[in-house]
Amino acid sequence: MRTIKNILVPVDVMEDNEYFIEYAKLLAGKLDAKITLLYARPPLDRFYDVYLTDDIVEKLKADSKQRALDELEKLSEELLGEVDVAIKLRRGQPQDIIMDMIHSDEYDMVIMGTHCRKGVERVIFGSVANRVVKHSNTPVLTIHPAECKG
Amino acid sequence: MRTIKNILVAVDLMEDSTFIAAYAKLFSERLQAKMTVVYATPPLSQYFGLYLPQDTISKFHEESEQGATQELDKFVKQHFEGIETQQRLANGQPQDVILGVAKEGNFDMIIMGTHSRKGVDRLMFGSVANHVVKQADIPVLTVRPDMQ
C-alpha cells in the first residue's frame, strides 16, 4: 500500500500561494502527513554589478533572508494552522532546488502551483512545472490559480 | 474550504497502470471520494489509410471497443474492489478525452500517469500528461510509472 507522509510544497513568497496551499492543507489533513514549505530564492548575482560596498551587500543578503523566513512563517501560520510544517529556505534556481529536494527521497509527494503569467515568463514557469512533472520520482499535484482558468 | 469528492482516474490499459491504481485507491479512501476510471481508446483513423472494406472496419471497431470494455472492467475489479467506481470508455485522443470528461463530470481532481509507453509512443503519452496539466481547470496528480 502506498503512503504519503511528507509533502513538499514549493512556494514563491513574491506571489500568491493560497490557491495551492489550500489543497496542501486538505491533503496533509486527510493523509496525516507533514508539509515542508520550500522557498528557493533566485541568485543575487544581478545586483553585483551595481556599485555597492561589501557591507551593504551583506546587509541586503541578511535582510532578504530574514524577510523570506518571515514570509514563510506567516504562510505556515495563516494558511496551514495545525498541520505539522517544516520550513526550508534555499538559494538558487528554483527548478534545480526543487529537483534536488525531490531526489533527496525525503518526500513522497509534491504539491505545486502554476502562475498565470503572460508571454515569456509563462513559458519559463510552465517549463518548471513541466520539468518537475516529467522527472519527479514522487507524484506531483499541480494546481492553476482560478484567474487562469478559461 | 476545498474538498475533493469526485476523482477522475485516467488509465492507459495498453500498459501497466497498477502504479496509478495504488495512488487512486489511497486518495479515494482517505478523501472518501468517488472515482471514475476513464480509458481513452486511440482513434482508429490511423487504419483508414489501409485498404479495408467498410464492414471490416466497423467489425474491427466493434471488437476493439468490446475488448477495451472488458479490459477496463477487469482493471476496476482487480484494483478497486469494494470502492464506488464508475467506468468511462471513450474513443479519441487521450488528452481530449480526459479534459472533456473532466469538464462535463464535475470532477475535483485528475489522477494520471506520465509517460508509460516505450519509444515514440512514450514521448506521445508523456505529452498527454503535460497537455492535461497545462489545460485542466482542476488539480492534476501525475504519477510516474517507474516509481518505487
CA distance B42 to B40: 6
**A99 touches B at CB < 8 Å:** no
**Band of residue A129 on the pLDDT scale cut at 50, 70, 90:** confident
- pLDDT tens across B56-77, in order? 878 888 888 899 999 999 999 9
**% of chain A at pLDDT higher than 90:** 51
**Band of residue B16 on the pLDDT scale cut at 50, 70, 90:** confident
**Band of residue A78 on the pLDDT scale cut at 50, 70, 90:** very high
- Hey, what's the cell of B17? 497502470
Nearest-CA distance B15 → chain A (Å)? 18
User: Which of the residue ranges A87-91, B70-74, B109-113, B123-127 would you say has the lowest mean pLDDT?
Assistant: B123-127
Helix ranges restricted to H, chain B: 18-31, 54-79, 94-104, 119-135
CA distance B21 to B37: 10
Q: Strand, coil or helix: what is B98? A: helix
**A134 touches B at CB < 8 Å:** yes
* Strand ranges of the sheet holding B85-91, from the earlier edge strand across to the other edge: A85-91, A34-41, A6-11, A109-113, A140-143, B140-143, B109-113, B6-11, B34-41, B85-91
In a domain, B40, yes or no: yes
The predicted structure's pLDDT at residue A150: 46
- Hey, what's the cell of B94? 487521450
B115-A150-A28-A78 Cα dihedral, nearest 10 degrees: 140
Model ipTM value: 0.86
Residues of A in contact with B7 (CB under 8 A): none
- Hey, what's the cell of A138? 514522487
The residue type of B102 is A
Average pLDDT, whole number, for chain B? Answer: 86
Residue A15 φ then ψ, to 5°: -125, 175
- pLDDT tens across A26-40, in order? 999 999 999 999 999
Average pLDDT over residues B18-32: 94
Which CATH superfamily hosts domain A6-148? HUPs (3.40.50.620)
Of the candidates A26, A133, A143, which has its C-beta nearest B129's C-beta? A133
Using CA coordinates, name the residue in chain B closest to A131. Answer: B130
**% of chain A at pLDDT higher than 70:** 83
Q: Strand, coil or helix: what is A144? A: coil
Can you state the angle between helices B18-31 and B54-79, rounded to 10 degrees? 50
In a domain, B1, yes or no: no
Q: Residue B9: which H helix or E strand, with range?
A: strand B6-11
The predicted structure's pLDDT at residue A118: 57
The closest alpha carbon to A84, from A72, A76, A93, belongs to A76
Of the candidates B129, B140, B147, which has its C-beta nearest A138's C-beta? B147
Beta bridge partners of B35: B7, B85
Domain count, chain B: 1
A149 vs A71, which has greater pLDDT?
Answer: A71
Would the CA dihedral through A101, B137, B15, B45 be positive or negative?
Answer: negative
Domain that holds residue B117: 6-143
B16 vs A91, which has greater pLDDT?
Answer: A91
**Whether residue B48 has pLDDT greater than 80:** no
A22-A28-A30-A31 Cα dihedral, nearest 10 degrees: 150
Cβ separation A134–B1 shorter than 8 A: no
A10 vs A114, which has greater pLDDT?
Answer: A10
Domain ranges of chain A: 6-148
Nearest-CA distance B31 → chain A (Å)? 6
- Indicate which CATH number applies to the domain containing B134: 3.40.50.620
**Whether residue A50 has pLDDT greater than 90:** no
The predicted structure's pLDDT at residue A20: 95
The predicted structure's pLDDT at residue A55: 87
B148 vs B113, which has greater pLDDT?
Answer: B113
The predicted structure's pLDDT at residue A57: 81
